[in-house]
Chain A
Amino acid sequence: MRLLKKYGALYVMMVPVIAYFLVFAYYPLVKGLQTSLQDYKLMGDRPYVGFANYDAVLHDSLFWEAMVNTLVIGGGILLFSFVAPLVIALSLNEVLRTWFKKMAQMILYVPHLLSWVVVGGIWIFMLSPDSGIVNMILVHVFHRAPINFLADSGYARWIMILLSTWKEMGYTCILFLAGIVSINPSLYEAARMDGATRWQQLTYVTLPQLSNTMKVVFLLNTLGILRIFDQVFILRNPTIASKVDVLMMYTFQKGILEIQLGPAAAASFFVLVLTLALTLVVRRMTRFDEV
């Protein structure tokens, strides 16, 4: 009773959110689970087939290929798209001229506004072997032979990781900046009183105070890495497909192209379960639940 009185209002605040998720996330999810257990035809009977769809997916070498690609590319993105925006946010924070800071923030955020179709198309040009700027530099400055980056399976995964990091870094950077802005200025004042250098202020005040934001950014990134799709869809081509086709690409092929909705749903649930496991690890490691 005492608990209810203390926390009752909080539970009431959660009610709309929980209700929304039940209808728009959990109910479809359960239906999706049902699909994964059916011989799902678009019309007519949809008999239950137990775990046959899961079995089929697990015995598909393409699924495992996609799994490896997802883990490698996703892992790379997880690392880079955490570190890069943090570095930029800290770097921006050291900028003293407000106009420059404002302008930089705004420009860094522009790639996020453009879709992968646009950004991907431009990078395909920039990386092209005959007229792309990257190869021009390679040839004229470093006197090396041009590299067909997007048709070379040795570079393909790196390109996915780096382009993804590049596109979203200004965006994630905003999160870190907002976190930095919320740091109590009196902490810096105290540090300066003690004669702290800029570097010391950074390591003793900014970074520790940013830990909550860092935790949440890392967790949010973790939740997304197994679902990368758009950039792969735009930047892939058949010569690098076996190195970059990720799990969502696999479900896209199964579901939308081959209309095997049962196996596609089963593959999606592997993605979900795997994400759940990863998230648990991250929650434990970052002690996310503890305040």
Chain B
Amino acid sequence: MKKVWLTMSTVAVASTMLLSGCGSDSGTNDAANSNAAAGNNANAPANAPADAPANAPAGDMKLRILDANVGGKTPEENAKFEAEIKRLTGIDASIEKPASDYDQKVLTALGSGEKYDLIELSDLGKLATFVDQGVVTDLTDFVTKSTVLSDPSVVPTAEWDQLKDKDGKIVAVFSKFQGGTMPIVRKDWLDKLGLKEPKTLDEYYNVLKAFKEKDPDGNGKNDTYGLCTSDLYDIQGFMSAAGVKAHYVMKDGKRTIPYATEAAVPMYEWFAKLVKEGIMDPNFVTNDTGKMRNLFLSDRVGMVTYWDAWVGMFNNTRKQADPNTTFQAEALEGIPGADGTILMRRGDPDFWIIPANAEHPDAAKKFLEFWHTEPGITLGSLGIENEDFTKEGDAYKLTPTGTEHNMDHGVPFWYNQNVKYPFGKLPGVQEAQDLVTKDATLELSLPGWPDAEKIVKNYALKAMSGQMDASEAVKKMHEELLGKKLIDE
């Protein structure tokens, strides 16, 4: 025992002496180095040359990518994903896909001067901040001159407006087609109870009440809810009945938040009634979206509010667990307002930026074009050839791995109309996406939204759960927002 300790400690002490010795040495160097680095940053032009030729010869192009969605699902697959990019484009890509804390990773990387060529983001509010802080490259020339990206059949021209900064410059490129959210209903429960798809607020109420009271899952127990949401996660389809849009809305140059106006009161009261009558899951305040999904998948609730793509995911998940299931999820349109307008939510897009300090902007541009062509889309959706799928002639066949990965390697859906979905879309998805295309609009996140959001959510949820009178809640919400100068009227 004594001897072991002695040798162990001697070794340890010696090695730490060494470590700390060189540590403190380079510590002093660090200061100099990072000062120099900071100086370099300061001198770096905010915008790298944007009109560099995007179709330069591949040669030994290198590319460093930081992203949250694109790539392999496991370390091994990620390595194969990189090899596949090399095979398809000649670009020597390295993909870094942090396991979590993505936002912090991006900030740390950028703030410490780490050089990436492409970074994936999915928040337009953040994009605006990044523009302000000199992070992004102007891609207007690149996009407009690119034969691939400027083609409206590859990306509809109007869509680019989403990715423009306040001066109208294009500062990012889409990484996939982003959908929207909506009420999703158990169609099989509707049928079983002899109900039709609801269209008005009253019809919705009746359907939800029936889901609660008429034992739609037929297990003889009163264990179902009509509606479940998560937090204030997208109740837009319902709020549409009152004609109010979530987040900020600019009215005559003034910032307003419609959820904090008189018009929203009847809607909060409607939800409060559902909660009081036990029709709505009272846990909606504490639920995360994962829990909400699980409730829907496990026959506990007849309607949730979620993404279009998940209509298919819900159907498919149940089908895989039991091929004979009657489970059928279906997307519902929002409720028309007094003037007949339907408001639905379009999600912020997922997109790539080329940071201002990128070392290989040309490779990045080449990759962006590739990403919107058929081989790129196939890689982003089906995955890696001979790993996730095999190809015989024009016919694709998924391997078991590919089936597990659900044709989503960062690009479940895409803009490019020339590229067909080799397996079609999962049941129910197309209908849901049609609703998005028809009714959904983006939400506006102005600076200060995180602060405003806290206030809106606090009072809205209190009103919906019946803890507070709806008109009082809206009054307080509005006052507090005005008081903190988060809205103009």
Contacts and interface: CB of A to CB of B under 8 A. Distances in A.
Interface of A: 15-16, 19-20, 22-24, 27, 31, 40-46, 61-62, 124, 128-130, 148, 150-152, 237-239, 241-242, 253, 255-259, 261
B282 interface: yes
A124 B44 contact: no
23 contacts: A16-B13, A20-B20, A22-B24, A24-B23, A27-B27, A27-B30, A40-B111, A41-B132, A42-B110, A43-B41, A124-B283, A129-B282, A150-B285, A150-B286, A151-B285, A237-B461, A238-B231, A238-B232, A242-B458, A255-B107, A256-B107, A258-B447, A259-B126
Given A151-B467, A241-B454, A16 B133 contact: no
Given A16-B13, A238-B458, A255-B107, 19 more contacts: A16-B17, A16-B20, A19-B24, A20-B20, A20-B23, A22-B27, A23-B24, A27-B30, A40-B111, A46-B42, A124-B283, A128-B282, A129-B282, A151-B467, A237-B285, A237-B286, A241-B454, A242-B454, A261-B107
Find the residue from A44, A129, A257, A261 having the highest chain B CB count within 10 A. A44
B423 interface: no
Interface of B: 13, 16-17, 19-21, 23-24, 26-27, 30-31, 34, 38, 41-42, 44, 46, 103-104, 107, 110-111, 126, 129-130, 132-135, 231-232, 281-283, 285-286, 355-357, 447, 450-451, 454, 457-458, 461-462, 465, 467, 484
A24 B27 CA distance: 9
Contacts of A129: 282-283
A118 B24 CA distance: 40
A15 B20 contact: yes
Given A27-B31, A61-B484, A239-B461, A259 B129 contact: yes
A129 B27 CA distance: 55
Contacts of B26: 23
Nearest to B17: A16
A256 B103 CA distance: 6
A44 B44 contact: yes
A-B residue pairs, 9 tightest by C-beta: A238-B457, A44-B134, A19-B20, A41-B133, A151-B285, A23-B27, A42-B110, A43-B134, A16-B20
Given A241-B458, A253-B450, A44 B27 contact: no
Given A45-B42, A259-B126, A239 B285 contact: yes
Contacts of A151: 285-286, 461, 465, 467
A41 B133 CA distance: 5
A258 B285 CA distance: 24
Find the residue from A23, A31, A43 having the highest chain B CB count within 10 A. A43
Contacts of B17: 15-16
Contact of A43 (B24, B126, B232, B355): B355
B450 A258 contact: yes
Given A42-B135, A128-B286, A19 B21 contact: yes
A150 B283 CA distance: 9
A259 B231 contact: no
A239 B27 contact: no
Given A43-B110, A259-B129, A124 B103 contact: no
B158 to A, nearest CB: 28
A206 B27 CA distance: 46
Nearest to B355: A43
Contact of B451 (A22, A62, A239): A62
B280 to A, nearest CB: 11
Contacts of B38: 46
A85 B132 CA distance: 50
A237 B104 CA distance: 21
A118 B357 CA distance: 39
A146 to B, nearest CB: 9
A130 to B, nearest CB: 6
Given A129-B282, A256-B107, A43 B467 contact: no
Nearest to B123: A257
A76 B2 CA distance: 44
Nearest to B468: A239
Contacts of A46: 38, 42
A66 to B, nearest CB: 11
Given A22-B27, A259-B129, A44 B42 contact: yes
A151 B285 CA distance: 7
Nearest to A31: B34
Contact of B357 (A16, A43, A255): A43
